[in-house]
Amino acid sequence: MGLTVGVARDDRFLEHKTGHFHPEHPQRLSAIYRMLDQTFADRVDFYKPEPANLEWIEKVHTPAYIKRILKTAEQRITSLAPDTPVSAGTYRAAWLAVGAGMQGIDALASGRCDAFFALVRPPGHHAEADRSAGFCIFNNIAVAARYAIERYGQDRILIIDWDIHHGNGIHDIFYDDRSVFYMSTHDIMLYPYSGAMEETGGGPGKGYTMNIPIDRDMTNDDILYLYNDILPSLFAGFRPKMVIVAAGFDAHSGDPIGRSRWSETVYAGITRLLIRLGRQFSPFTPLLFSLEGGYDPPSLTASVKAVIEALLADHETQTPDLNPGQAVHDLIRKIRLTHAPFGVIHD
């Protein structure tokens, strides 16, 4: 039986203008929304988000930074960072993007949905406590995780970041926090050039960060084999109460920035794996997806569609037959050796 799926969407996200030649443009989202209307109009529950309450944004971001975001409403277009232009409508879109993630937490915690996809912009996983970076304004996922922990007592949150760029903002915000396990697969040779495997968390959070630098030439079978090896051990050891996916789709072969080799079948395959692992627990481990990168509208739309189709599928999919290269086996061995001292992942 398929999952009950909620989707947050709102045309106000399109009011975040970035200029004619910027890759993070409104057409990314409008293309996805057209696909939703054509394919999922009566198959998912649509939610209209409300702006986040200020107190929750302040759990992650400094008051001075929040004030700086508000002041952008006074200018037609400006920049918060060299790669992060904003417009007069950005502050509202950013506030709504945070609110959509919190709305997803509410829907999942109440049992109204098994899975929720916040289809938002601007993205968030590069945003730090006091600054914008990498097209990101507020750290949507970090606020959602903090909200789940403090509002609903979900003290074991697993964040999976499959965006091809390392989510340095999420990484740094929860680096010392054992209530959140952050796992990222990323190309360390791409912006922000961070996320070394040896960075495993600090203080009480030691062992609760898993950085997996990957080669951009990894095939679909390579990456699916990696996830099918590591995630079951992570679920067994950490036993997450909720999973949040930083759903960036810029590792797709069609993406102009990621320059990797994945297809949408990878994202669908990881989603099916998360469903299978979540069903091992009672109640089911709920899933929140929040849109991050992905800059080619056709491949981005196909990838989002593949994820939602996987969530709605009414049949159990077994572990696929995969033929990974030797480099993946070597990478898995290195991951396990790095994390063995912490006892968080179990065989």
The residues carrying an active-site annotation are: 126
Cβ neighbors of 279 (< 8 A, separation 6 or more) are none
Q: What is the DSSP letter of 67?
A: H
Residues composing the chain: 347
Rounded Cα gap, residues 244 and 220, in angstroms:
22
Q: In whole angstroms, how far apart are CA 80 and each of 60, 227, 285?
A: 18, 35, 37
- Run of H or E residues at 160: strand 157-161
Q: What is the mean pLDDT of residues 143-159?
A: 98
CATH topology of domain 5-342: Arginase; Chain A (3.40.800)
Rounded Cα gap, residues 303 and 167, in angstroms:
19
Rounded Cα gap, residues 107 and 5, in angstroms:
10
Comparing 2-6, 275-279, 343-347, the range with the smallest average pLDDT is 343-347
Q: In what order do the strands lie in the sheet with 45-47?
A: 45-47, 5-8, 115-118, 287-291, 242-247, 157-161, 180-186, 209-213
Read off the pTM.
0.97
110-146 pLDDT, tens digit per residue, is 999 999 999 999 999 999 999 999 999 999 999 999 9
Comparing 77-81, 118-122, 268-272, the range with the smallest average pLDDT is 77-81
Domain spans of the chain, in order of start: 5-342
Place of tokens 């590792």: 251
